[in-house]
């Protein structure tokens, strides 16, 4: 800690890491002072963004005693080893979703965090979306009633997104197309966000079945349609896909008192520009910033951040179950 500001290290400054870097530079009570990435151009870009401590390996970053906490935004197959090393080095961790490739690895990370008394939070920005948070309050206050059904849709281009935006790495990083490295396709990538969100709203999932789509004839699913049953009795249709350039994130909640629909859509170019000009951040990325701010605040006030490692493990267990319970109509 320097001048009451937590010193953060960013491990992996690719797609989502860039977003963390941008947001980290806006924080008042923390600063990103170190970046580790194996890609030289990524480190060069971080240098132009004012980062002084640049490392070609995360092992070197973790040796820096001034770093209080790390954000791990590495390809998913590296989450396990990196999180274990970070925990052993005594750094608090914000770990990107999905927690790890396997349930065993997730348990390792949770135990390492406990053993080293460090804080571990999973990166799930939807939990910081003000509309979803209002829905949580409305549900608790009984305004929606008993929820019979939820329809959750999260469709976008995934790794097939148009890469000329200066934000997404081009060409598409190879690991996204190798399930040994990514853990799976659209269900793993997008489904874990929805599963995590729905668990926050409706409790634990007791059963799930899934039909998968292979529009691009890859060896991983580019879409999944799941039916999940919650402890509350609520039934959810979870529809995720990597097949559309148009982004759609939407929740339709059908309750015994009233129904509600919530969407989270990218703003139109003009209003995004206005939001950037007036607030330095677009409404679309605000939950992502709030997530990082919350993590930092928890470290300052010595509170356990949430979603926890256990949340990440439970999400992964549901995903594994969905892959096992494959149906074909």
Closest approach of ligand NAD to the CB of residue 236, in Å: 20
Residues 35-74 that bind ligand NAD (CB under 6 A): 36-39, 42, 57-58, 73-74
* Strand bridging mode 53-55 / 69-72: unpaired
Tell me: does residue 90 bind ligand NAD (CB under 6 A). Answer: no
User: Does 190 sit near ligand NAD (CB under 6 A)?
Assistant: no
For ligand NAD, the closer of residues 85 and 234 by Cβ is 85
311 interacts with ligand NAD by CB under 6 A: no
Q: Does 181 bind ligand NAD (CB under 6 A)?
A: no
**What is the SS3 assignment for 132-179?**
HHHHHHHHHCCCCCCEEEEEEEEECCHHHCCCCCCCCCCCCCHHHHCH
Q: Which of 31, 76, 85, 293 lies at the binding interface for ligand NAD (CB under 6 A)?
A: 76
Contacts of 82 (CB under 8 A, 6+ apart): 11, 58, 72, 74
- Residue closer to ligand NAD, measured from CB, 16 or 139: 16
Q: Which stretch binds ligand NAD (CB under 6 A): 14-22, 256-264, 300-308, 319-327?
A: 14-22
75 binds ligand NAD (CB under 6 A): yes
- State yes or no: residue 145 binds ligand NAD (CB under 6 A): no
Please state, in angstroms and rounded to a whole number, the distance separating the CA atoms of residues 8 and 2: 11
The whole-angstrom separation of Cα 296 and Cα 197 is 21
Applying CB under 6 A, the span of 46-54, 75-83, 144-152, 263-271 interacting with ligand NAD comes to 75-83
Residue 22 interacts with ligand NAD (CB under 6 A)?
no
> Is there a contact between 177 and 160 (Cβ–Cβ < 8 Å)?
no
Give the C-alpha separation, 263 to 133, whole Å: 13
Q: What is the number of other CB atoms lying within 10 angstroms of the CB of residue 141?
A: 8
Q: How far is CA 262 from the centre of its chain?
A: 19
Minimal distance in Å, beta carbon 42 to ligand NAD?
5
Interface size with ligand NAD, residues (CB under 6 A): 25
3-state secondary structure of 9: strand
**End-to-end alpha carbon distance in the chain:** 56
Write the burial class of residue 294 (CB in 10 Å: 0-12 exposed, 13-18 middle, 19+ buried): middle
Q: Which of 169, 213, 266, 267 binds ligand NAD (CB under 6 A)?
A: 169
13 or 139: whose CB is closer to ligand NAD? 13
d(CA 50, CA 34): 10
Token reading at 48: 């132009």
> Considering the complex, what minimum distance in angstroms separates the CB of residue 216 from ligand NAD?
18
Q: How far is the CB of 147 from ligand NAD (least distance, A)?
A: 25
6 contacts ligand NAD (rule: CB under 6 A): no
What residues contact residue 270 under an 8 Å CB cut-off, 6+ apart? none
Of the residues 30, 67, 78, 83, which one makes contact with ligand NAD according to CB under 6 A? 78
Q: Does 16 bind ligand NAD (CB under 6 A)?
A: yes
In terms of Cα–Cα distance, which of 211, 208, 233 is closest to 223?
211
Output 2 or 174, the one with its CB closest to ligand NAD.
174
Taking the complex as a whole, the smallest distance from the CB of residue 179 to ligand NAD amounts, in Å, to 13
Q: Are 292 and 71 a contacting pair, CB within 8 Å?
A: yes
Minimum CB distance to ligand NAD smaller for 123 or for 255: 123
Is 113 a binding residue for ligand NAD by CB under 6 A? The answer is: no
Task: Return residues touching ligand NAD (CB under 6 A).
Answer: 12-17, 36-39, 42, 57-58, 73-76, 78, 96-97, 123, 125, 169, 173, 189
């Amino acid at each position: 800690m320097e001048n009451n500001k937590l010193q953060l290290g960013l491990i992996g400054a690719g797609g989502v890491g860039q977003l963390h870097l941008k947001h980290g530079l806006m924080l008042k009570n923390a600063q990103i002072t170190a970046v580790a990435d194996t890609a030289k151009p990524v480190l060069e870009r971080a240098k132009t963004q004012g980062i002084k401590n640049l490392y070609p390996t995360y092992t070197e970053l973790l040796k820096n005693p001034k770093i209080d906490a790390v954000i791990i935004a590495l390809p998913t197959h590296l989450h396990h080893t990196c999180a274990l090393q970070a925990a052993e080095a005594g750094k608090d961790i914000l770990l990107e979703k999905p927690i790890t490739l396997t349930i065993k690895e997730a348990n390792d990370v949770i135990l390492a965090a406990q053993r080293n008394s460090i804080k571990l939070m999973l990166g799930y920005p939807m939990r910081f979306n003000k509309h979803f948070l209002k829905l949580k309050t409305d549900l608790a206050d009984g305004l929606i009633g008993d929820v019979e059904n939820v329809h959750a849709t999260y469709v976008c281009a995934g790794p097939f997104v148009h890469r000329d935006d200066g934000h997404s790495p081009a060409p598409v990083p190879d690991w996204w197309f190798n399930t040994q490295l990514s853990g799976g396709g659209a269900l793993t990538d997008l489904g874990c966000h929805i599963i995590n969100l729905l668990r926050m709203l409706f409790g634990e999932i007791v059963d799930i079945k899934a039909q998968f789509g292979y529009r691009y004839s890859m060896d991983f699913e580019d879409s999944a349609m799941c039916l999940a049953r919650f402890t509350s009795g609520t039934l959810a249709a979870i529809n995720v896909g990597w097949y559309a350039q148009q982004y759609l994130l939407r929740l339709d909640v059908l309750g015994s008192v009233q129904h509600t629909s919530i969407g989270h859509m990218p703003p139109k170019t003009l209003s995004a520009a206005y939001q950037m000009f007036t607030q330095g951040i677009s409404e679309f990325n605000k939950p992502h910033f709030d997530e990082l701010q919350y993590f930092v605040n928890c470290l300052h006030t010595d509170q356990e951040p949430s979603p926890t490692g256990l949340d990440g493990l439970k999400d992964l267990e549901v995903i594994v179950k969905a892959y096992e319970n494959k149906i074909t109509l």
